Amino acid sequence: MYRKVKGTQDFFGIEAKKLRHLEGIIRAVIEKFGYEEIITPIFENTEVFVRSSGEESDIVSKEMYTFDDKGGRSLTLRPEGTAPVVRAFLENKLYARRALNKYYYFGPMFRYERPQAGRYREFNQFGIEAFGASSPYLDADVIISAAEIFKALGIENIKLKINTIGDFASRAAYSALLKEHFGKGISSLCDDCARRLDRNPLRILDCKIDRDNPLLKNAPKIEAVLSAEAKAYFQKVLKILDASGISYEVDPNLVRGLDYYTDTVFEFILESDDELGGLAVCAGGKYSDLVRSFNGPDIPGIGYAFGIERIIAIMDKQNLFPDLASRADIVLISLDEEAKEKALLLARALRGAGFYAELDYQNFNLKPQFRLSEQVDAKFLVIIGEEELKNKQLAVKNALTKEQELIPETKILEYFKENLN
């Protein structure tokens, strides 16, 4: 027996419907904010991710599914959505379409991580990227759009954590400060953090291993070196969130794992006592330098990504999915060859009229055909036998009331239009 790859999932039945259901809700919200869908390939040249995330990032150093194709190119299954969108934005010169470009995406991402609750090796993300404005109004509107999505999905107990990591000057000053601070206690840090000290000491702040090390808790805060502009920018973002009635907590240790972030960074976390509590459901931030680092023009961007599996798990827990089971309107039951042909043609006509019609393709006995009607939870059964064919009539049975009546063939569409809605 073949088994699925560790950390992957099959979606079928109601689970597949849940995924599409919440996709539909999210799409409806985000398109009102002016975002258009962008669909990029599942794999990219490896360099796309190395350039954007940085060699030192967990994603690049440990988590990528990278392979050489038969032409000897190094390709990587996308671990995240921002780098491919930036690559597409530049390659297709989308910045020439207009000054402000807003895109959203849905799709699978791949990371070699240790599978556990809410963590998979193939998982789905919904994300957005907005290019072309460096403005606290845009940052706030992006965060508001995420909050609106939670609201539309009905999800409660979500907490927004927000921070600024400053503009380039503040970031550089902060890095120097952290280097000095962590340098003093380097032996108490994990090997990864020891390596991060030189390259990007900010990353140490969100190390999963050293999370409880007092050195992290007592680290200097960005506040100490934040430029006046960066401070004013952040205050403005917070002011707009206040005015929008969106509550948040400023978390000075929130830095995000990737090099390209500047200014506003944020995460939405679930607050609950179960195994899902504390999981980040959506994470994002502003990136002023990512487009330029791809050798593109100097265009700022901001974005976020939602973990779809985590949303499904939360919605299951909070009982937020409607009844997604689909019931057949009509099952056509046929008792001989000729009737079967009639049933198939009639099914086609019924489907054409907008009904969900099903039939058994190989049995002429009643029993298996009744079983099928039960399995698809049919509302009506249409029984076609010798008698019915001869009289050009159909026996229609209401599955609920069990009442049965004979309807002339020519009146059958009309009958269902009246009796099914």
Binding site for ligand AMP (CB under 6 A): 80, 111, 113, 118-120, 123, 125, 280-283, 305, 307, 309-310
Comparison of 54 and 307: residue with beta carbon closer to ligand AMP: 307
Tokens 């150093």, residue located = 61
Q: How many Å apart are CA 36 and CA 85, to the nearest integer?
A: 12
State the minimum distance, in angstroms, from the CB of residue 111 to ligand AMP: 5
Closest among 267, 18, 328, 309 to 143, alpha carbons compared? 267
State the minimum distance, in angstroms, from the CB of residue 283 to ligand AMP: 4
State the minimum distance, in angstroms, from the CB of residue 282 to ligand AMP: 6
8 Å CB contact between 279 and 273: no
State the minimum distance, in angstroms, from the CB of residue 129 to ligand AMP: 12
8 Å CB contact between 278 and 211: no
State the minimum distance, in angstroms, from the CB of residue 43 to ligand AMP: 17
State the minimum distance, in angstroms, from the CB of residue 238 to ligand AMP: 21
N residues, the chain: 421
8 Å CB contact between 164 and 233: yes
8 Å CB contact between 254 and 222: no
Comparison of 201 and 307: residue with beta carbon closer to ligand AMP: 307
Comparison of 7 and 185: residue with beta carbon closer to ligand AMP: 7
E strand or H helix that includes residue 208: none
- Give me the sign of the Cα torsion angle 93, 95, 97, 101: positive
Q: How many other C-beta atoms lie within 10 A of the C-beta of residue 86?
A: 26
Comparison of 78 and 397: residue with beta carbon closer to ligand AMP: 78
Q: What is the CA radius of gyration of the chain?
A: 28
Comparison of 305 and 412: residue with beta carbon closer to ligand AMP: 305
Q: How many Å apart are CA 344 and CA 210, to the nearest integer?
A: 65
Comparison of 285 and 334: residue with beta carbon closer to ligand AMP: 285
State the minimum distance, in angstroms, from the CB of residue 83 to ligand AMP: 11
State the minimum distance, in angstroms, from the CB of residue 364 to ligand AMP: 49
Comparison of 102 and 310: residue with beta carbon closer to ligand AMP: 310
Tell me which residue has its CB nearest to ligand AMP: 307
Contacting residues for 63 by C-beta, under 8 A, at least 6 apart: 79, 111, 112, 113
Question: 3-class secondary structure for 111-164?
Answer: CCCCCECCECCEEEEEEEEEECCCCHHHHHHHHHHHHHHHHHHCCCCEEEEEEE
8 Å CB contact between 173 and 225: yes
Comparison of 256 and 397: residue with beta carbon closer to ligand AMP: 256
State the minimum distance, in angstroms, from the CB of residue 256 to ligand AMP: 7
Comparison of 22 and 359: residue with beta carbon closer to ligand AMP: 22
State the minimum distance, in angstroms, from the CB of residue 145 to ligand AMP: 15
Comparison of 246 and 280: residue with beta carbon closer to ligand AMP: 280
Q: How many Å apart are CA 127 and CA 80, to the nearest integer?
A: 9
Closest among 23, 123, 19, 126 to 63, alpha carbons compared? 123
